[in-house]
Amino acid sequence: MMNRPALTALAATLPATVPFVGPEAQERQRGRPFRARIGANESGFGPSPAVKAAIAEAAGDVWKYADPENHDLKAALAAHLGVEPENITVGEGIDGLLGLIVRLFVEPGQPVVTSLGAYPTFNYHVAGFGGHLVSVPYLDDRENLQGLADAARRENAPLVYLSNPDNPMGTWWEAAEISRLIEALPETTLLVLDEAYGETAPASAIPPLDVARPNVLRMRTFSKAYGLAGLRCGYAIGEAETIRAFDKVRNHFGVNRIAQTAALAALADQDYLFSVIGSVAACRDRIAAIAEANGLKPLPSATNFVTFDCGGDSAFALKIMQALIARDVFVRKPMAPVLDRCIRVSVGPDAAIDLFEQMLPDALTAARS
Amino acid sequence: MMNRPALTALAATLPATVPFVGPEAQERQRGRPFRARIGANESGFGPSPAVKAAIAEAAGDVWKYADPENHDLKAALAAHLGVEPENITVGEGIDGLLGLIVRLFVEPGQPVVTSLGAYPTFNYHVAGFGGHLVSVPYLDDRENLQGLADAARRENAPLVYLSNPDNPMGTWWEAAEISRLIEALPETTLLVLDEAYGETAPASAIPPLDVARPNVLRMRTFSKAYGLAGLRCGYAIGEAETIRAFDKVRNHFGVNRIAQTAALAALADQDYLFSVIGSVAACRDRIAAIAEANGLKPLPSATNFVTFDCGGDSAFALKIMQALIARDVFVRKPMAPVLDRCIRVSVGPDAAIDLFEQMLPDALTAARS
């Protein structure tokens, strides 16, 4: 056997996996495209027309490296949020930033606290840097704030992950409860507060920004309500010294030039954002009504998707998901115990939801047979 | 003093730096834009018209996450290169891939071999993962292949970095010499062969691809001759198991959708690539002639830039660079001992080179005074 370069001891233990199989891979396997793409919590309402125009206009400038300091975007975000540019870092989506956070704050073997069934990509990064995942079960389909705080204290964890509003359940906590969690955490525990769905949540769910506090990072993205998932542009808001740490390890030229341009244009078009938020809310209601009309139980949602309890076990929910996929409707489902009785449907334009409405009764029949 | 989350022991030792200060930062400091952007080895000839059209057409699709498997781009690259898709991984520029390589193969404290004055971003990643850099000086303005092989053996290094053609000097080795280096390396040493400038090099400088060999990764990019620096799309070609390791740690959705679309369109327009390669060669000759006309000594170049010996010490070359910058001509220079007697000028359209030609005599006078 030929000798070969050795992976690090840690890398050798890691599987070569994808946290999510994309709809394109499923389409290749199926041999035909989906007719409704409502499984990945994308915004089927698309980006603002101003964003599309900005992208087309910037197409000729792609020969230039983007500004590695992301200066203009950070300045615009800071003005929008009422903080300073030094309180913001921009990265290749929240996914990319989560990897950097784990790398910066977690030594191999250290415990990291999250909810059982919460964001798989965070778990992927924790494993990727040798952290040890401590998972707290959901309570009544919401993340268990007291349980997370207790686990963080007990484990003396450097990191706690919380998504509010929550993915994959769509549920949320009010800001006062989140603030109570923050107060309950050790000062040496960094709370990664993922607010990817913050724009579609009630204002009462989002605590005020407090950039004096070193142990909270607020994670935001242009992937959801702004409709730029394919461009990979997320940001973290926090205390200046915590934010500065990203400059130690980030891929400085990593945020694509078109992403920066599009994010600036998206941020400037708040009217469009508000119209999308309205469409999202209306579509959530419609998805919930469709679920109820079919005897399923939708959970309350502050996100751009609706998760519903299919009233059976994991195998039953899986069959429904597969039956929808077989009918060209791309949806997903939670995989962790208890949550896995549900499936999850993202909002989208009428045509996509029409197809879901049309196919769901058949899919249920198929799943029950 | 308030307690705060602790950085890892390694992260605490790292500076919060930028490997390169971008021209935009300099423009902000100067308070006015550059009139010639010929300092970052970008392609001022721009991307193919087909790329611009593809970007504009794809602008409406940015709400969709990109395919995390980069399937279509890998398939197109594989067909173009005569290898299998399993021999290719795509990442956020070569920069992003270099970080993953160091993470996968270098344990903290292990030695990593490179040339003294070679690519700073590689060194940044080595430091970022706790590797120990062993630097081999250039020999007559070329990377010292024998010295690199000797150092790799002596140190039992897991990684050796080599750029061919070389940045920042522009010089190159013929394929036979590179192949000799490969044969001289231990089988357990991975050669990171950075061929970012491969398209503008003589064909005789590029060894045939050998994807049966586990210890060589060939690094390529759309940033240089293809004119897509701002989009962040690089790729590595290698043996399937070595390539598969990237899936253990990469940011799966990290390659932006517009980047994938543009790279596909760029690859399909080889006629445009050939025309750019012609323009690059002609422009290199012109830059060299301008340098010679001003008493400076251009080095041979197989890249999209020309480095020239200013005939003095580092301080003199620095003054010339600063004088050009003061005259609105963005250029850069090597910073390592011996190399630092040079400045480096990237190719670009006539107007940019005209301004360089116009300003160089003045800049030299200023530097000498």
What's the pLDDT at A1? 46
If you average pLDDT over residues B89-111, what whole number do you get? Answer: 98
How many CB atoms neighbour CB A224 within 10 A?
27
User: What pLDDT, on a 0 to 100 scale, did the predictor assign at position B17?
Assistant: 82
Instruction: Nearest by CB to B188, from A4, A47, A253: name it.
Output: A4
- Best mutation target among B1, B17, B18, B62 (most A Cβ atoms within 10 Å) is B62
pLDDT single digits (tens) B172-183: 999 999 999 999
Q: Which two tokens stand for residue B283?
A: 């422009």
Q: What angle do CA A128, B10, B137 make, to 5 degrees?
A: 105
* 3-class SS of residue A139: strand
**CB of A102 closer than 8 Å to CB of B54:** no
Mean pLDDT (whole number) for A327-349: 97
Give the residue from chain A lying closest to B37, CA to CA: A64
Average pLDDT over residues A273-297: 98
A99 and chain B in contact, CB less than 8 A: yes
What is the per-residue pLDDT for B1?
A: 46
| Pick from A55, A68, A96: CB nearest B254 | A96
Q: Which residues of A touch B61 (CB under 8 A)?
A: 230
Stronger pLDDT, A19 or A324, i.e. the higher one: A324
Write out residues 156-175 of A within 8 Å (CB-CB) of B. 158-159
Q: What percent of chain B has pLDDT over 90?
A: 98
Partners of residue B346 in chain A, C-beta under 8 Å: none
Six-digit token string for A300: 């309350």
Q: What is the mean pLDDT of residues B337-350?
A: 98
Copy the structure tokens of residue B71. 């399937």
pLDDT exceeds cutoff 90 at A115: yes
Mean pLDDT of B297-319: 98
**How sure is the predictor about B2, in pLDDT bands with cuts at 50, 70 and 90?**
low
How distant is the Cα of B46 from the closest Cα of chain A, in angstroms? 5
B19 touches chain A (CB under 8 A): yes
**pLDDT at site A19:** 76
Handedness of CA A243, A263, B32, B355 (dihedral sign): positive
Query: Is residue B272's pLDDT more than 60?
Result: yes
Q: What is the per-residue pLDDT for B354?
A: 98
By DSSP bridging, strand A305-309 and strand A342-346 are antiparallel
What is the pLDDT, as a whole number, of residue B19? 76
Residue appearing with tokens 């005020």 = A208
Residue A191 has φ and ψ, to the nearest 5°, of -90, 120
ipTM above 0.95, yes or no: yes
Amino acid at residue number A26:
Q
* Predicted local distance difference test score (pLDDT) of residue B178: 98
B42 touches chain A (CB under 8 A): yes
Average predicted confidence (pLDDT) for chain A:
97
Average pLDDT over residues A93-101: 98
CB atoms A244 and B16 under 8 Å: yes
Q: Inform me whether the pLDDT recorded for A23 exceeds 80.
A: yes
User: DSSP readout, B29-76?
Assistant: HHTS--SEE-SS---TT-S-HHHHHHHHHHGGGTTSPPPTT-HHHHHH
pLDDT at residue A176 tops 70: yes
Position A2 scores a pLDDT of: 59
Nearest CA to A338 among A363, A366, A310, A365?
A310
Which positions 166-225 of A are in contact with B (Cβ < 8 Å)?
186-190, 214-215, 223
Percent of chain B scoring above 70 in pLDDT: 99
Calculate ∠ Cα A42-A44-A47, nearest 5°: 90
pLDDT band at B20 (very low <50, low <70, confident <90, very high): confident
Q: How far is CA A109 from the centre of its chain?
A: 25
Residue A5 contacts B, CB cutoff 8 Å: yes
Mean residue pLDDT of chain B comes to 97
First and final C-alpha spacing in chain B: 52
Distance from CA of A89 to the nearest CA of B (A): 13
Provide the chain B residues 65-84 that lie in CB contact (below 8 A) with chain A.
65-69, 71
Residue of A nearest to B46 (CA): A63
If contacts are CB pairs under 8 Å, which of residues 225-284 in chain B contact chain A? 227-232, 241-242, 244-245, 247-249, 251-259, 262
pLDDT at site A17: 82
State the smallest CA–CA distance between residue B259 and chain A in angstroms: 8
**Cβ <8 Å between A5 and B229:** no
The pLDDT of residue B43 is above 50: yes
CB contact under 8 A, A63 and B52: no
CA distance B140 to chain A (A): 30
* A17/B230 Cβ within 8 A: no
Section B342-351 average pLDDT: 98
| Residue A127, min C-alpha distance to chain B (Å) | 9
Cβ(B22)–Cβ(A65) under 8 Å?
yes
Which residues of chain B have a CB within 8 Å of the CB of A93?
A: 251, 253-254
Domains in chain B: ranges and CATH: 21-46+271-368 (3.90.1150.10), 49-268 (3.40.640.10)
Q: For residue range B283-292, what is the model confidence (pLDDT) as tens digits?
A: 999 999 999 9
Burial (Cβ within 10 Å: 0-12, 13-18, ≥19) of residue A141: buried
pLDDT at B108 over 50: yes
Q: How many CB pairs under 8 A join A and B?
A: 284
Q: Give the per-residue pLDDT at A18.
A: 74
Structure tokens at B5: 């989350």
Q: Return all residues near A304 (Cβ < 8 A) that are at least 6 apart.
A: A41, A43, A197, A200, A224, A225, A280, A284, A346, A347
Radius of gyration, CA atoms only, chain B: 21
Least confident of A272-286, B9-23, B139-153, B269-283: B9-23
Q: Average of pLDDT values for B146-154? A: 98
pLDDT of residue A118: 97
Percentage of chain A beyond pLDDT 70 is 99
How many Cβ atoms sit within 10 Å of the Cβ of residue A146? 13
* Interface contact A13, partner B, CB < 8 A: no
The answer to whether B340 and B314 have CB atoms below 8 angstroms apart is yes
**Residue B18 — very low, low, confident or very high, per pLDDT cuts 50/70/90?**
confident
Chain B residues close to A242, C-beta within 8 Å: 4-5
H/E stretch holding B134 reads strand B132-136
